[in-house]
Amino acid sequence: SSVVPFHGEHQAGIVTPAQDRLHFAAFNMVSGSSRDDLIQLLRDWSEAAERLTQGRPLGTGLEPGDALLPPDDTGEAEGLQAGNLTLTFGLGRSLFTGSGEGGSEDPYGIRSQLPAAFEPLPSFAFDLLEPAQSGGDLCVQACADDPQVAVHAIRNLARIAVGRTHLAWSQLGFGRTASTSRRQDTPRNLFGFKDGTMNVMSDETEALAEHVWVGDEAPAWLRGGSYIVTRKILMTIEAWDRASLAEQERTFGRTKLAGAPLTGGGEFDHPDFAAERDGAPVIDMAAHVRLAHPDQNGGTRILRRGYNYVDGSNELGQLGAGLFFISFQRDPAAFVRLQRSLKHDLLGEYIRHISSGLWAVPGGVRRGEFVGQRLFD
């Protein structure tokens, strides 16, 4: 079982080859907590993250010297090893502006460090957002090969945080829907299509610098970091499963089995958006890959790193299933631009966005430092 280092130039869990499992969690600060509480929380979380990602138990482990105290580590990851666990931390806009009306406070004395690009996401056509499952002062993305390792990490981070921050909502995911490395086969989403073919890959150094890592435009604490967007997207899969193969392929503009553009070639060949057959475009004008393509969006690219989810089923026998979409980008405006382009997406008939989140992901953590440390310099 492998270890992904917690320390580095960038936080892990962004270009790290996507693991199979996700536990994503959003936290809200306990009102009245201070700047020192926030600093201590980030310090404690960073220390714990280093141990957790190495597959080592927290504190004195499962059996403290004193049997009258609860164990420092909850124990369920004992014997499971590190499982490529990554913990990626993000800070919400409300941490800088307060969550009160108008967001005009400065509870932690960091408002002057708010980057200009860190604007709230606007609302989009067809949003059906559930506020109790959206946003948050902080987020932690836990990815691992073993679901119990990811859940153990979130559970213990929540436990350590007691009195300072509390879990607002969380989401489990499986079957990564994106590859971030050509060494990985392209996985499939719950519509049965290959997802992640044209993603920004971890070896595209120049594209990462241009589209994913924040540069000199931002305050020092965010350089080498990114912005994470999450969108829980419900799929009406029963309707999808009754759609013909031709309709499914028209929706994406790609073939189902090979994931190749409808204009021919293999999975990684470039779609020919100008191609016509009988006077009509071969790739529909509203096909997902046309509308999301960089050529239609002034060169905009994002790094997608989402997961499938199934939250059981409802009383009508329909699966509560979909895509927990995650993307990393240098500027939230990149996501906004793409999502606005998708307004007329054929896919729109089969999906609903039910939760949304945006956090700034500080640059990598150096040994002996804690995540976001330079915010408090």
Q: Please, which residues have CB within 8 angstroms of residue 24's CB and are 6 or more apart in sequence? A: 139, 140, 141, 142, 170, 171, 173, 230, 324, 326
Whole-number minimum distance, CB 167 to ligand HEM, in Å? 25
22: nearest Cα among 217, 182, 173, 214: 173
Q: By C-beta, is 78 or 295 nearer to ligand HEM?
A: 295
Hey, how many other C-beta atoms are within 10 angstroms of the C-beta on 68? 5
Q: Mask 240-259, x = binds ligand HEM (CB under 6 A)?
A: ------------x-x-----
Q: x/- contact string, 339-368, with ligand HEM (CB under 6 A)?
A: x--x----x---x-----------------
- Of 91, 99, 169, give the one whose Cα is nearest residue 134: 169
> Is the Cβ of residue 52 or residue 342 nearer to ligand HEM in the bound state?
342
Q: How far is the CB of 124 from ligand HEM (least distance, A)?
A: 9
Write the CB contacts of 256 (distance below 8 Å, at least 6 apart in sequence): 192, 193, 245, 248, 249
Give the phi and the psi of residue 182 in degrees, each rounded to 5: -65, -15
232 binds ligand HEM (CB under 6 A): no
Is 330 a binding residue for ligand HEM by CB under 6 A? The answer is no
201 binds ligand HEM (CB under 6 A): no
From candidates 198, 286, 287, 361, binder to ligand HEM by CB under 6 A: 198
Residues in 275-294 that interact with ligand HEM by CB under 6 A: 288-289, 292-294
Q: Reduced to 3 DSSP states, what percent helix, strand and coil does the chain have, rounded to the nearest 5?
A: 25, 25, 50
CB 154 within 8 A of CB 77: no
Residue 27 in tokens: 């936290």
Q: Which is nearer to ligand HEM, 21 or 232 (CB)?
A: 232
Q: How far is CA 49 from CA 41, 42, 52, 86, 91, in A?
A: 12, 10, 5, 8, 16
Task: Based on the shown chain and the rule CB under 6 A, indicate whether residue 175 belongs to the binding site for ligand HEM.
Answer: no
Judged by beta carbon, residue 80 or residue 117, the one nearer ligand HEM is 117
N residues, the chain: 377
Binding region for ligand HEM (CB under 6 A) out of 15-23, 71-79, 97-105, 231-239: 231-239
Q: Which stretch binds ligand HEM (CB under 6 A): 58-66, 71-79, 187-195, 272-280?
A: 187-195
DSSP symbol at 358? E
Q: Which is nearer to ligand HEM, 215 or 299 (CB)?
A: 299
